[in-house]
Amino acid sequence: MAYSLSDPELTDGLKSQEDLKSTPVKTTLRIESLDILRGIALLGALLISIWTFGGFSQNMQTKLLLHPSGGNYRLFAAVSLLFEGKMRAIIALVFGAVMVINFSKANTINALSNADVSIRRFMWLIAFGLLNAFLFLWTNDILFHLGVTGILLFAFVRMKARGLLIAALLTTLIYCGKNYWRYQDDNTTYKKYLSVVAIEKSFKKDSTDLLTKNKKKEPLVKPTATRASTLKKDSSAQKKDTLTRQQQEDKSAWEGLVKNMKYDSTADARQAKQMREGAYGTLWNTILPEAQWREAGWTYRTGIWDLASMMFLGMALFKLDFFTGRFSNSRYLTIALITITAGLLLGWYRLYFHNAMLLDYAKFIKRYPIPHNLFFPLERVFLACGYAALIIFLLRIKLLKGLFSALADTGKMALTNYLVQSIFFTLFFTGFGMTNFGKLEQHELYLLVAEVWMVQVIFSTLWMRFYYYGPFEWLWRYLIYGKAFPNKKTVSATPEPAIAAII
């Protein structure tokens, strides 16, 4: 008898298994905390994304960090401290939890096994990410990375909470390690630079000595001849008075590094011109390298550890019932206060030393054995968990009920809202649309974000009143199952909270 994973018999059987840590969705409230967290993270992340969307560039941030005072700096520091990296962390946290739910839930549809659904979910998410990056032109898309990391971590869904916590810890440590090693690379580059500079100094001394001693006795070796011989045996050529190519490279490596960190007064105008000018095709060419770097380079260096660590943690916390009320109210509040405090302290440390680093990187490297961002991975774990605990606490004491229900709606259609953000901001800022790139001040950008929040929350509430899924969520399910699910809510029909909430 041919065997197939999609046997109804088998998928039904998944319901009863014990060792899967099967947690079928029982109440709406239990999942609601995840939806709310996702809704909040989705909206909060916009405060950071708007920097890239609107043209509050790295360069401008450098300028602010070089003179850490004044309202503009304080606003930037506060947003960076409270939101940068933390919203992405919460999104990954929720994503990890949902991975476990989707894998272990009772399969009501029976067309596909849970494993198949999970893998297809990830792969279509990657496709949405590509669409977001290369059609909607959002360079810092996260869907692609969530899909990729989801596939990589699929093998861990069954792991017990303890193992998952260890995995989360290890990946966080590797993330810290990567920041450290990159700093050590810079350190090595600087040391090489110093030794080249020392050699250069000795050349000057030598040649002045030579000049005074051998004046008119014999002509100096022609520079071209020297260069040719250095190419042949470059390390032994140190005695000659030109730098070998290796030494030149070593020297310019550090000089380039420092130059890239400096504030460049013309860079912003150049970038703004590029983003404001031209048709869709020109814009596409402009963002292409950045979007590709984000998908390949960033993922390999940072993204995989950034997301995997939080997903592991999300899986573990879900299995520990953290999202579904394991602890008492006061315990949640205590956790929130402790982790948020710890996260803020680490964030303050990062900002403080970032300033020192930008002021004089050479001095910084000589003085400090660790980089400013060494603890950033922890900062973001602490704050993300703190926020989650705080929100669960507020949810349980039934505060701000109306707001939370609206945020849950926003979270339920997070994919739609996320893609709509890209479409809207690309149209609002770029030359393809309304050419507002670089025209808004930092605080104006945040005001714009607040407007978008308002519209998205209201839109989501209205939409979810009439439909089970957001439009892109519906499309996603259609692509996964190859089947069109009814979307419109009828008055008599009981809502389908479990499924609607998960996808």
Partner 1 sequence: METNNTLVGEPVLPTIPGAEFPIYNHPPVSPHPVFKTDRVQTIDIIRGVALLGILMMNIPIFSSDYSRIDAILRGPHNTTDFITIQTVEAFFGGTMRALFSMLFGAGMILFTISKKETHGGVTVAEYYYRRLLLLVLFGVINAYVFLWEGDILYYYGLCGMLLYPFRKAGAKWLFVLGILCIGIGHLKGMLQYNDLREKRAAYVSAIATEKNKKKLTDKEQEAKGTWLEIEKNQKPDTFRTNRNIREMQGSYPTVFSHLLHRNSDSETWGMYHGMWDMISMMFIGMALFVLGFFSNKLSGSTYRMTLLLGYGLGIPIGWIFFKEGYVGSLELGRYVDAWRVPHWALYDLRRFLLAVGHASVILLIYRSGAIKWLMKALANVGQMAFTNYLMQSIICTIFFFGYGFNYYNKLPYHRIYFVVAAIWVFQIIFSVIWLHYFRFGPFEWVWRSLTYWKKQPMKISKNEMTI
- Region binding partner 1 by CB under 8 A among candidate stretches 16-24, 30-38, 263-271, 442-450: 16-24
Q: Does 119 contact partner 1 by CB under 8 A?
A: yes
Q: How far is the CB of 79 from partner 1 (least distance, A)?
A: 30
**Is 429:437 a contact under the CB 8 Å cutoff?**
yes
Q: Does 151 contact partner 1 by CB under 8 A?
A: yes
In whole angstroms, give the CA distance from residue 415 to residue 456.
Answer: 12
Q: Does 180 contact partner 1 by CB under 8 A?
A: no
Q: How far is the CB of 113 from partner 1 (least distance, A)?
A: 7
**CA-CA-CA-CA torsion sign (493, 498, 502, 503):** negative
In whole angstroms, give the CA distance from residue 404 to residue 36.
Answer: 6
In whole angstroms, give the CA distance from residue 169 to residue 412.
Answer: 29
Q: DSSP states of 282-302 as a string?
A: HHHHHHHHHHHHIIIIIIIII
Residue in 21, 30, 63, 158 binding partner 1, rule: CB under 8 A = 158
Q: How far is the CB of 179 from partner 1 (least distance, A)?
A: 15
In whole angstroms, give the CA distance from residue 276 to residue 444.
Answer: 18
Q: Does 108 contact partner 1 by CB under 8 A?
A: no
First to last CA, the chain: 34
Q: How far is the CB of 206 from partner 1 (least distance, A)?
A: 24
Residue in 59, 62, 200, 234 binding partner 1, rule: CB under 8 A = 234
Q: Does 127 contact partner 1 by CB under 8 A?
A: no
Q: How far is the CB of 313 from partner 1 (least distance, A)?
A: 19
- Region binding partner 1 by CB under 8 A among candidate stretches 109-117, 420-428, 444-452, 457-465: 109-117
Q: Which is nearer to partner 1, 25 or 119 (CB)?
A: 119
Q: Which is nearer to partner 1, 22 or 28 (CB)?
A: 22
Q: Does 231 contact partner 1 by CB under 8 A?
A: yes
Q: How far is the CB of 456 from partner 1 (least distance, A)?
A: 31
Binding residues among 376-395 for partner 1 as defined by CB under 8 A: none
Per 3-state DSSP, what percentage of the chain is helix, strand, and coil (rounded to 5)?
A: 75, 0, 25
- Region binding partner 1 by CB under 8 A among candidate stretches 276-284, 293-301, 437-445, 486-494: 293-301
Q: Does 157 contact partner 1 by CB under 8 A?
A: yes
Q: Does 409 contact partner 1 by CB under 8 A?
A: no
CA proximity to 341, closest of 48, 81, 79: 81
Q: Does 112 contact partner 1 by CB under 8 A?
A: yes
Chain mean position to CA 376: 12
Q: Does 266 contact partner 1 by CB under 8 A?
A: no
Distances, alpha carbon 87 to alpha carbons 26, 39, 168, 450, 492, in Å: 27, 10, 17, 16, 38
**Is 107:123 a contact under the CB 8 Å cutoff?**
no
- Region binding partner 1 by CB under 8 A among candidate stretches 94-102, 127-135, 149-157, 343-351: 149-157
DSSP state letter for 6: T
Please give the helix or strand (H or E) that residue 261 lies within, else none: helix 245-261
Non-local CB neighbours of 165 within 8 Å, separated by 6+ positions: 312, 313, 316
Q: Which is nearer to partner 1, 115 or 338 (CB)?
A: 115
Q: Which is nearer to partner 1, 25 or 123 (CB)?
A: 123
Q: Does 218 contact partner 1 by CB under 8 A?
A: no
Q: How far is the CB of 496 from partner 1 (least distance, A)?
A: 21
Residue in 17, 214, 252, 341 binding partner 1, rule: CB under 8 A = 17
CA proximity to 97, closest of 381, 256, 312: 312
Q: Which is nearer to partner 1, 118 or 132 (CB)?
A: 118
Residue in 27, 202, 256, 300 binding partner 1, rule: CB under 8 A = 300
Non-local CB neighbours of 32 within 8 Å, separated by 6+ positions: 395, 404, 408, 501
Q: DSSP states of 55-103 as a string?
A: T--HHHHHHHHHS--HHHHHHHHHHHHHHTTHHHHHHHHHHHHHHHHHH
In whole angstroms, give the CA distance from residue 149 to residue 129.
Answer: 13
Residue in 21, 30, 63, 120 binding partner 1, rule: CB under 8 A = 120
Q: How far is the CB of 152 from partner 1 (least distance, A)?
A: 6
Q: How many CB atoms lie within 10 A of CB 483?
A: 11
- Region binding partner 1 by CB under 8 A among candidate stretches 54-62, 108-116, 395-403, 418-426: 108-116
Binding residues among 268-287 for partner 1 as defined by CB under 8 A: none
Binding site residues, partner 1, CB under 8 A: 1-7, 10, 13-14, 16-20, 111-113, 115-116, 118-120, 123, 151-152, 154-155, 157-158, 231-232, 234, 245-246, 292, 295-297, 299-301, 481-483
